[in-house]
Structure 1
């Protein structure tokens, strides 16, 4: 696609333009002419499967591509890399994110979320405006503190990390838009990114050092990685422990935070969805109740709402890969070194795979609906060997947070309507979502 045909649409609304280009090229790969950068846009589900799963070894995060290089300023090497370092990190961390382990943490997470939501009582009575994103970050940190740190990091410090991540996500836009600029050449956002990484290091490195000096027998991620050994039997160096803990903490908080921030304007814009969601919560969850694993399993419509939210607003909207060797994707000849871009946002809005793709419709995820046309028509957590380790954690954490808040409170938006989309390392609302909360008066479960 020549630059003169795509540039106006990309400047006006880049995501809409990418969906338009993919919709106009069924079964094909689109090569974008962006001047010095000419990536292949891969959106057909079978092609996505080829890149992320079937021939994943040929499409790596490394190389000089437009996202992973700057992201590694925060995450370093390890779980966010490729090859042996990635494999070693994933093998070490996989046991912490199994369904069995996460299920065993539901009670502690639920009590932590309930306590965090209790703190809405005073601002609700006062009618104060709250930044939904900031408050969600606070609740999410409380929920996962035991998983990562055994509560050894204060909520205040975790929120400092989340705030630093927020600055990093925004600061990466400069590198995202100017991927061809060498690292030695400064671009807007570089200084903010560097300072935010320094904040993360000022919290995490002393914590890792203290853990190494006085190791615990705990099974949280920090303790386990500090005790871990590399393939040669040596303890992991402190930077490697820091990189993997920070990477997984960032993934666990950022995905949930980014996705759930869209929920409030969505519910406001779709009152019929909100009413069904509230009705389910009223039936399953008692007033001020700490939610159990059994109750979570009964929140079927809540899960459908979240699945549809992930379809329309996936946090990891862009997955860039560099080709190691020549390959053929749907008849398009990709050469070694070429940049290939996969986008769950685009694929999950293709009209040939989704009826009325621009309509928020949780019923498309109902148990009575036919199976999707292809496994990779829907992949909000990626796929293949690099599929997000925190996927199961999200599917427990997100409904737990939503159910706890909305079983106790209703909300009102200060600014109605869907926020613009902010394109950065993750997909976020382009403005703060400000809400006031009102306590729900209920009779209990019917």
Structure 2
């Protein structure tokens, strides 16, 4: 017995020594990383080992916006500065020339630290290797080639009927609110309509969320919130108090992927049987994918990855943009009246808005662009810098990731005069275009595939709203921003709705 106890004691001591040696080695490696990159300016680290992580976690705990902290750091430390997270180093870049060089080139892959964590959420596959997260250029390019035809201008033009029809259901809901003189949460309503549009236009599914309940909005919100914690707090899932939420996120991921798998399987079966199928985005994707020389099981998973990506990104960000737009128009009656006048001149009393009408709504386009300048609903992107380079005169050793933040660039007076003033004339056709400091849909080959789709949809919603209703913001609500992975209005944009009185 004594020999056994002595052996156990020796094993424990040996393990403790090995753990100490490993920890000491890791600390020395972290010190080496500090020495390698500390010539780059940046805020003081909160902690030798955890770097700036405590600040990020404190901001999240206080329900503040991490991008406001990035803005503060930019103003203090300049257009190129360093952040440390354990042994990882991130370089925040607000320099237009570097932004152009890095984002416009395919040689800088998506940031492996962030985008690998979006492959799954807490062990449950989420975005996988879809268009947003694929790091390998060839893998991404194959998927992009499959997806491109579904987003051509000719194909999008053919979606106008569905856009009009779905948005009419929102108009019916607002008519009911106006008749009953009830207040409405515009963020909730535009979330319903954008999810309706995506489900119908992309996948041929009638959700009709203006009348029916659905688990999808809650699932999407849960996934996005989980994504925020999973990316920003490496230890979140290991804290016992977070286990119920972690399980909720996993279940939400499973719901979305199971639904996508079912819809894709049903559509493929219908096509193989020669049945009539909607000429929607899903059909287009399946047809184009079928033209590939070889389709593997992985390719099938990629289609599902892109279903989740498109289902979430194509709905959430557009809804948030619309809510912010309505909020700002409610705060600026002069801009609101100008937008209404343009809609009256272009659309008149027509119920059906045409594709050509959208191109004539120039001022409304400016309003939507200005909304995304101050409130980029997907505020940042990042790329890996594999080789040494010089940015703004500062030597950047390879092996780091660069963070590009359009929330920060949109709120700097270096790029925009009086940046917090909502001024759509910044985007007048004759105005000077922002030089690589405005990129709400990212830039270059990895820019958002669905940006034209999203802006068409946003224009149809806003044009019909402005055509038929007057709205005012209910007093007392906050204009703060909520960070749930994407940015959304914290208050929900609660409005009083009235029918417009047209002058004869």
Instruction: Return the TM-score normalized by structure 2.
Output: 0.78
Which residues of 2 match residues 376-395 of structure 1 at below 5 A?
Answer: 376-395=436-455
Structure 1 CA distance for aligned equivalents of residues 486 and 449 of structure 2: 17
> Cα deviation per residue 1:356-393 (whole Å; 9 max; x = unaligned)?
11111111111232333x2x111110011110001111
The equivalent of 1:399 in structure 2 is 459
**In the TM superposition, what is the alpha-carbon distance from 1:37 to its structure 2 partner?**
5.2
Aligned pair in 2 of structure 1 residues 13, 338: CA closer, same or farther (>3 Å)? same
Are residue 78 (structure 1) and residue 130 (structure 2) matched? yes
**In the TM superposition, what is the alpha-carbon distance from 1:159 to its structure 2 partner?**
5.2
Candidates 146, 152, 155, aligned match of 2:208: 155
Structure 2 CA distance for aligned equivalents of residues 387 and 168 of structure 1: 22
- State the structure with more CA Rg: 2
Candidates 308, 316, 319, aligned match of 1:246: 308
Task: Identify unmatched segments of 5+ residues in structure 1.
Answer: none
Are residue 121 (structure 1) and residue 154 (structure 2) matched? no
Secondary structure of 1:171's aligned partner: helix
Structure 2 CA distance for aligned equivalents of residues 130 and 327 of structure 1: 52
> Cα deviation per residue 1:108-162 (whole Å; 9 max; x = unaligned)?
322332243223222221122322122102222343444311x334335995333
**In the TM superposition, what is the alpha-carbon distance from 1:58 to its structure 2 partner?**
2.6
Q: Does the 8 Å CA contact 2:200/2:206 hold for their aligned counterparts?
A: no
The equivalent of 1:205 in structure 2 is 261
Which residues of 2 match residues 205-284 of structure 1 at below 5 A?
Answer: 205-215=261-271, 218-227=278-287, 228-229=289-290, 232-234=293-295, 238-284=300-346
Q: Does the 8 Å CA contact 1:58/1:325 hold for their aligned counterparts?
A: no
- Higher mean C-alpha displacement, 382-391 vs 272-281: 272-281
Candidates 411, 415, 424, aligned match of 2:471: 411
Aligned pair in 2 of structure 1 residues 430, 381: CA closer, same or farther (>3 Å)? same
> Cα deviation per residue 1:322-374 (whole Å; 9 max; x = unaligned)?
333443333444444423211111112221111111111111111232333x2
The equivalent of 1:306 in structure 2 is 368
Structure 1 CA distance for aligned equivalents of residues 328 and 118 of structure 2: 31
The equivalent of 2:110 in structure 1 is 60
**In the TM superposition, what is the alpha-carbon distance from 1:65 to its structure 2 partner?**
5.9
**In the TM superposition, what is the alpha-carbon distance from 1:64 to its structure 2 partner?**
5.4
- Higher mean C-alpha displacement, 404-413 vs 71-80: 71-80
Candidates 91, 113, 121, aligned match of 1:40: 91
Q: Does the 8 Å CA contact 2:118/2:127 hold for their aligned counterparts?
A: no
**In the TM superposition, what is the alpha-carbon distance from 1:213 to its structure 2 partner?**
2.4
**In the TM superposition, what is the alpha-carbon distance from 1:314 to its structure 2 partner?**
0.7
Aligned pair in 2 of structure 1 residues 186, 50: CA closer, same or farther (>3 Å)? farther
Secondary structure of 1:59's aligned partner: coil
**In the TM superposition, what is the alpha-carbon distance from 1:33 to its structure 2 partner?**
4.2
> Cα deviation per residue 1:303-334 (whole Å; 9 max; x = unaligned)?
11101001110111021333334433334444
Aligned pair in 2 of structure 1 residues 287, 211: CA closer, same or farther (>3 Å)? same
Are residue 173 (structure 1) and residue 219 (structure 2) matched? no
- Higher mean C-alpha displacement, 80-89 vs 377-386: 80-89
Structure 2 CA distance for aligned equivalents of residues 357 and 266 of structure 1: 14
Structure 2 CA distance for aligned equivalents of residues 384 and 168 of structure 1: 27
**In the TM superposition, what is the alpha-carbon distance from 1:24 to its structure 2 partner?**
4.3
Structure 2 CA distance for aligned equivalents of residues 23 and 394 of structure 1: 32
Which residues of 2 match residues 291-440 of structure 1 at below 5 A?
Answer: 291-372=353-434, 374=435, 376-416=436-476, 418-440=478-500
Higher relative contact order (CA 8 A, sep 6+): 1
Q: Does the 8 Å CA contact 1:176/1:424 hold for their aligned counterparts?
A: no
Q: Does the 8 Å CA contact 1:65/1:322 hold for their aligned counterparts?
A: no
Q: Does the 8 Å CA contact 1:287/1:442 hold for their aligned counterparts?
A: no
Structure 2 CA distance for aligned equivalents of residues 130 and 18 of structure 1: 34
Q: Does the 8 Å CA contact 1:75/1:247 hold for their aligned counterparts?
A: yes
Candidates 49, 63, 68, aligned match of 1:16: 68
Task: Identify unmatched segments of 5+ residues in structure 2.
Answer: 1-42
Q: Does the 8 Å CA contact 1:255/1:316 hold for their aligned counterparts?
A: yes
